[in-house]
Chain A
């Protein structure tokens, strides 16, 4: 079995990359859902929320079809960028990102919706393009929502199991994150003590994430008022 700290470090790496890469997409989605009106918006809304209501195993299977070595997107990534997802930590990050995406978008969307649109109008009358208004008014004011979204997603990524094991399997040092390691240990005789250790680490990480989220949200709110 890989050392405990290596498993935790892998989990952190996977989760951080998952959040970092999905955050821009999440913000874009949340903004579109919060501020735009167009036909098919319900469809987008449904699509974003799909991972929340679909069995994780099914999400993993779909990822395998699309991003697997023979999937159309997977092959494209492999041929163009030399990036493979199957059996790698990158694949684990993708699985975690997809599963955490609905939570992230929800929180950010609420944050954006709480920003007074009249302030955006004021920005426009001061010569700001819609993009400048978004980056200088909307997003800074939605910062508490952004923060909550990112941290919720991060916590969700740390706990990702079903989609990960289906999509990228259980490869030590690559895709064996904390939940997968705990699962594996529980399958082996005398693995229970180590499993308890890992469970403890998982709990500690979750608590730290929650505390950090609360402190950061407080700091941001203080700055805004």
Chain B
């Protein structure tokens, strides 16, 4: 258990979040400037809180009251930084072997970590000659080899393009296997949360807005502001009924509805989570006819949340919670209010698996 109850004055607000993080992958989610990196630095010992306490598995690493402030090298914490921070004067092997073991757990075998992250071919290379994705894999390996009780990943995919992102994500998923480690994953991308996290903590300007199970949390209307406009949307739990229906589409069932989307390379009957952005959902009072849209789900309006300006978010219960971002004019003209029966349409092309 990682316990944080600390205050620290930052540039334009004060961090005063209280958190208890259990083993498994916990995503810290928030806009840039929400204080996520400051939290990581406080846990790692790179930033000293003004007040409060931080404890890892019963060991106090910081306490203002008791005058405890362990230096970074004596905390059982490993960090993977956003910018990798590999040592340019050392080879990949030198970087991997730089760390010293701390904490209670026994050190992982060098060979195993190298194999897990597929670094064999890179061992003699210099960090500068590696791609961004390779650099982050080395950084992850380097942190793992110190056998940390707490592994902090501070937006490890932020500097990478889409393809590299996917590559490193695959490796990060392998970390889920050792579930007894506390892994804190800082991100502002919902896809990463859904793919990796067992738990989600929403952070906003130095405070914890909410925490809990990712799917449940991401669907909550009142948290949309913390999640941010870009990523606002719902997560739908679905099961794959048919991998390919002959037209290159996969057929999914979702609370009694059928959803079609471009073919997923996943086995039949797999349970997956679909991310549906609010902006990709439109509403109508009657089932649309002669439309290019393949996915129509009927449901009832749960509530309407007016947004700034011309927009409003409509929460629709289709068996699960769905979000639609529409204009206020549409809300008025269609008479959308709690209890109204609507048809939500989602373009198949806009859907993708968050797994």
Contacts and interface: CB of A to CB of B under 8 A. Distances in A.
B62 to A, nearest CB: 15
Contacts, number: 60
Given A124-B46, A129-B73, A141-B89, A118 B128 contact: no
Interface residues of A, number: 20
Contacts of A136: 98
Given A141-B89, A223-B89, A224-B88, A127 B81 contact: no
A19 to B, nearest CB: 24
Contacts of B101: 127
A127 B89 contact: no
Interface string B332-345: 00000000000000
A121 interface: yes
A128 interface: yes
Contacts of A125: 44-46, 72-73, 77-79, 143
A127 B100 contact: yes
Nearest to A223: B89
Interface in B56-92: 71-73, 77-79, 81, 83, 85, 87-89
Most chain B beta-carbon contacts within 10 A, residue among A122, A140, A141, A224: A122
Contact of A127 (B46, B85, B88, B102): B102
Contacts of B188: none
B89 A124 contact: no
A26 to B, nearest CB: 21
Interface residues of B, number: 24
Nearest to A120: B85
A126 interface: yes
B279 interface: no
Contacts of A129: 71, 73
A201 B18 CA distance: 71
B321 interface: no
B85 A119 contact: yes
A121 B72 contact: yes
Interface in B235-261: none
Contacts of B143: 125-126
B88 A126 contact: no
> Shortest 6 CB-CB distances between A and B: which pairs?
A127-B100, A124-B72, A126-B99, A122-B85, A125-B79, A127-B73
22 contacts: A118-B81, A122-B81, A123-B98, A124-B45, A125-B45, A125-B77, A125-B78, A125-B79, A126-B98, A126-B142, A126-B146, A127-B146, A128-B73, A128-B98, A128-B100, A129-B71, A129-B73, A136-B98, A223-B89, A224-B88, A225-B88, A225-B128
